[in-house]
Structure 1
Amino acid sequence: MQIKLYELRKKAGLKQEDLAKMLGISQNSYGHKERGDTDFKLSEMFKIANFFNRKIGDIFSDSTSRKVK
């Protein structure tokens, strides 16, 4: 799970659907990516980092990621 991304999204009061629309992907695809089932594309990471005004490494790193099954 992308723990930091999940926390940022919740703190901003956003739904998965909101970020999915911003990325141009389905909510289902976004959910899989946030849970760690599939990886975000680098371009998606840049969009998310810019949206939250953060560095990619602050959101997507080994220390903030955990795959949950």
Structure 2
Amino acid sequence: MLISVKAARVEAGLKQKDVASILGLSLTGYNRKENGHAKFYIDEIMILSELTKTPLENFFEVKCHKKTRNNSA
């Protein structure tokens, strides 16, 4: 089961301002990312994964579609 960045942060006992500081973001900037109004960069996700002890894969939605070929000639 995937958990949100916010849930991972709260479970780890971290405050938004502390995580924002660690990531080098303003509190507003971090809040926008945590609430889905802006995207995290991969390096930020890697740090979040370490801070929250949450597997990196948890923070990615993988949407794969089967490639279909049009075999009509």
- Identify the TM-score tier after normalising by the shorter chain: 0.7 to 0.9
Establish whether residue 47 from structure 1 lines up as the match of residue 54 from structure 2.
no
Normalized per residue, the structure richer in helix is 1
Long gaps (5+) in structure 1: 64-69
Amino acid at match of 2:10: K
Written as runs of structure 1 = structure 2, the 5 A alignment for 1:1-69 is: 4-58=4-58, 60-62=59-61
Max Rg structure: 2
Quickly say closer, same or farther: Cα 1:54–1:10, change in 2 above 3 A.
closer
Shift of 1:25: 0.8
Long gaps (5+) in structure 2: 63-73
TM-score (norm 2): 0.70
Higher relative contact order (CA 8 A, sep 6+): 1
> Aligned partners of 2:51, 2:43: CA distance in 1, in Å?
12
For these two proteins, the number of residue pairs brought into alignment is 60
> Aligned partners of 1:4, 1:27: CA distance in 2, in Å?
18
Q: CA RMSD in A?
A: 1.7
Shift of 1:15: 1.5
Instruction: Report percent identity of matched pairs.
Output: 32
Quickly say closer, same or farther: Cα 1:52–1:12, change in 2 above 3 A.
closer
TM-score (norm 1): 0.73
> Aligned partners of 2:37, 2:53: CA distance in 1, in Å?
25
